[in-house]
Homo-oligomer: A and B are copies of this chain.
């Protein structure tokens, strides 16, 4: 089994984690290494194993508890392992699958787990599996069902990449299908039919004219969006089509519930047949909570809105304020060129260490 030195520089710990391949559903090796390292190097923590998730926590009876969460799995390796280093010192960079998403965040968490033995808040560390695949397989969902008390706390910090700055809350998402109907006819006598693709022009017109909201919530500016993500229609090369479907993804700020977002879409596409395909609630920033505002202060006082959907929303649904805070540029996640600046890792370990000590 690979061994991990949790007290080493988190940059080196990141490199060691990256070199343990852990594509979703193949996390046993990394979970074993994490469990073994926590049991031997963080004896002040209660450790449990759940599937390929590893959970660890203090029981110091502090007034508040902070939950730190990160997933152990990565997307498939794309000819970008083992880890490769370029630059030195503050300009050092780690390249490879998982450097951003999110073994650098996991390294920061493991480092804190082993080195912050007298934290100001009780701490729970959640290292989980299967975040990169179907939501139904997500390890955090399984823990919520099987070990719900392990997710209780006053603030959740999800160490997904956020360019080492606090990203608060997250936007919700919903996908709808807008259908138009027509009447088939031979194109040689097109006027005997009614073209469903032409009718979809009005749907695209409303999309084009749509003015997204950019509400400020708890000092964070969100930015909604409404985008056609697919369109399809057609029967044969000489037939007026009788059906067309436009699939639309709406990203909405967390001041709206999914139900409110869908009601809004039904207004936007009034007169059309609208079917909801899927949806997930957003998460309010919740930065007025004491632990959250302390963390923002430790990070320099700035927080921005998280626009993508992350597991932050799962914690929000449990009633906890939750933020993203982790090393790396999220736009590099899932790319072959994935890489993280060592300085980001050092900063995140420093900010969280200051906040927790």
Interface residues of A (CB under 8 A from B): 171, 173, 175, 186-191, 195, 197-198, 200-201, 204-205, 207-208, 223, 225-241, 244, 246-247, 249, 251, 307-309
Verify B234–A229 contact, CB threshold 8 A: yes
Q: Given A188-B307, A195-B228, A229-B235, 10 other A-B contacts at CB below 8 A?
A: A173-B187, A188-B225, A188-B309, A189-B223, A189-B307, A191-B225, A195-B207, A197-B246, A231-B231, A232-B233
Verify A201–B204 contact, CB threshold 8 A: yes
Verify B195–A227 contact, CB threshold 8 A: yes
Verify B188–A228 contact, CB threshold 8 A: no
The CA of A187 and the CA of B251, in the complex, are separated in Å by 7
Verify B225–A230 contact, CB threshold 8 A: no
Given known A187-B225, A188-B307, contact A238–B249 (CB-CB < 8 A): yes
Verify A227–B187 contact, CB threshold 8 A: yes
Q: Which of B186, B234, B249, B308 contacts A247 (CB 8 A)?
A: B234
**Residue numbers in B under 8 Å from A195 (CB-CB):** 207, 227-228
Chain B residue nearest in CB terms to A185: B227
The CA of A230 and the CA of B195, in the complex, are separated in Å by 10
**Which of A173, A229, A239, A247 has the most chain B CB atoms inside 10 A of its CB?**
A229
**Residue numbers in B under 8 Å from A205 (CB-CB):** 201, 205
Chain B residue nearest in CB terms to A186: B308
**Residue numbers in B under 8 Å from A227 (CB-CB):** 187, 190, 195, 198, 240
The CA of A212 and the CA of B51, in the complex, are separated in Å by 66
**Residue numbers in B under 8 Å from A208 (CB-CB):** 198, 201
Verify B251–A247 contact, CB threshold 8 A: no
Chain B residue nearest in CB terms to A240: B227
What's the minimum C-beta distance from A275 to chain B, rounded to whole angstroms? 14
**Residue numbers in B under 8 Å from A235 (CB-CB):** 229-230
What's the minimum C-beta distance from A68 to chain B, rounded to whole angstroms? 23
The CA of A35 and the CA of B12, in the complex, are separated in Å by 89
**Residue numbers in B under 8 Å from A244 (CB-CB):** 231
Chain B residue nearest in CB terms to A234: B230
**Residue numbers in B under 8 Å from A171 (CB-CB):** 188
What's the minimum C-beta distance from A147 to chain B, rounded to whole angstroms? 30
**Residue numbers in B under 8 Å from A246 (CB-CB):** 197
Verify A237–B231 contact, CB threshold 8 A: no
Chain B residue nearest in CB terms to A307: B188
Chain B residue nearest in CB terms to A239: B229
The CA of A157 and the CA of B197, in the complex, are separated in Å by 37
What's the minimum C-beta distance from A71 to chain B, rounded to whole angstroms? 18
**Residue numbers in B under 8 Å from A188 (CB-CB):** 171, 173, 225, 251, 307-309
The CA of A200 and the CA of B201, in the complex, are separated in Å by 8
**Residue numbers in B under 8 Å from A186 (CB-CB):** 308
**Residue numbers in B under 8 Å from A231 (CB-CB):** 197, 200, 231-234, 244
The CA of A236 and the CA of B228, in the complex, are separated in Å by 10
